[in-house]
Homo-oligomer: A and B are copies of this chain.
Amino acid sequence: MPKENEKNKIDKRILKKSLYRDMFTLQWSWNYERMQALGFLWAILPVLQRIYKKGDKLKEAMKRHLHFYNTNPVMSPLILGASIALEEDKNGDASSSIKVGLMGPLAGIGDTLMAVLYRPIIAVIAASLAMGGSSLGPILIFLSGILWMGLKVPLFWLGYNKSTALIGDVIGDGIVKKATEIASIAGLIVIGGFIPSILSRVKTPLKFVKTVTIKGEAVEKAVELQGILDKLLPHLIPIAIVGLSYWLIKRKLSPVKILLVLLALSFITNILGIL
């Protein structure tokens, strides 16, 4: 599908500059308030300059890209690529909405792929090599990180090219929508299994000691609360804690404050012997 309006077409040098900025510095200015927002803006900045030159248009575009942004770093170039392609077409709104639509699902998918599938396999092998005294251990893990990081490059071009291909179409619709939907569903299913799996060590040690008397005999029986909870709903405590945090976020509490709440919770329940 040939682009009607080729004048915005950005040359590859600028694209690569954008990619490398995202690739190497995305999280340097990470903060609780808007997380990777500034990193993303700095990455896309060369593109915005090329397209909007300067003045209010540029300012507006920059503001747009300073909104909250957070995803798995390896997945970020995919979003950046798509976002750039839409900016090229002066379709700033689509550019924003694809960021918002994809960042959540891809965070879930990317984090899971890395933290539960890829890294543990490497880490177990590397650690057992190292324990055997071999320096191959740290080298293996080092190289695996580079390999993982290397994924950013093809993902960037994938995002850029696929998104470009749809621009003739109704933007934001069709494939973009479908991709977001697939990513959201698969992402949520994975996170749904992931939360109880990662947090499964959060358990209560509480026991009830009950004295049962049948025909004069007094027998002491210890009932573990965790066992009862597990029957009610497996992994109830982790779910409750995530639920609480989610609810606090929806009530517009800042992450730092929620963090303090969780810290307080940890200390109190630990002292009381509840968790």
Q: Which residues of A line the B interface, CB within 8 A?
A: 121, 128, 131-133, 210-214, 231-232
Q: In the complex, are the beta carbons of B212 and A128 less than 8 A apart?
A: yes
Q: Which residues of B contact A133 (CB under 8 A)?
A: 213
Residue among A121, A132, A214 with max Cβ neighbours from chain B (10 Å): A132
Of chain B, the residue at the smallest CB distance from A117 is: B232
A131 to B210, CA, bound (A): 11
Kindly report how many copies of this chain are found in the complex they form together: 3
A211 to B140, CA, bound (A): 18
Q: Which residues of B contact A210 (CB under 8 A)?
A: 128, 132
| B211, B213, B232: the one within 8 Å of A121 (CB) | B232
Q: Which residues of B contact A132 (CB under 8 A)?
A: 210-213
Q: Which residues of B contact A214 (CB under 8 A)?
A: 131
Q: How far is the CB of A193 from chain B (nearest CB, A)?
A: 16
A210 to B211, CA, bound (A): 50
Q: How far is the CB of A55 from chain B (nearest CB, A)?
A: 48
Q: Which residues of B contact A232 (CB under 8 A)?
A: 121
Of chain B, the residue at the smallest CB distance from A228 is: B121
A232 to B231, CA, bound (A): 29
5 closest A-B pairs by beta carbon, nearest first, are A132-B212, A133-B213, A132-B213, A131-B212, A131-B214
> What are 10 A-B pairs with beta-carbon distances under 8 A?
A121-B231, A121-B232, A128-B210, A128-B212, A131-B212, A132-B210, A132-B211, A132-B212, A132-B213, A133-B213
Q: How far is the CB of A272 from chain B (nearest CB, A)?
A: 22
Q: How far is the CB of A198 from chain B (nearest CB, A)?
A: 17
Q: Which residues of B contact A231 (CB under 8 A)?
A: 121
A133 to B231, CA, bound (A): 25
A211 to B212, CA, bound (A): 50
Q: Which residues of B contact A212 (CB under 8 A)?
A: 128, 131-132
Q: How far is the CB of A99 from chain B (nearest CB, A)?
A: 33
A128 to B128, CA, bound (A): 49
Q: Which residues of B contact A128 (CB under 8 A)?
A: 210, 212
Of chain B, the residue at the smallest CB distance from A210 is: B132
Q: Which residues of B contact A211 (CB under 8 A)?
A: 132
9 more A-B contacts (CB under 8 A) besides A121-B232, A132-B211? A121-B231, A128-B210, A128-B212, A131-B212, A131-B214, A132-B210, A132-B212, A132-B213, A133-B213
Of chain B, the residue at the smallest CB distance from A214 is: B131
A39 to B121, CA, bound (A): 52
Q: How far is the CB of A122 from chain B (nearest CB, A)?
A: 12
A70 to B132, CA, bound (A): 56
Q: Which residues of B contact A121 (CB under 8 A)?
A: 231-232
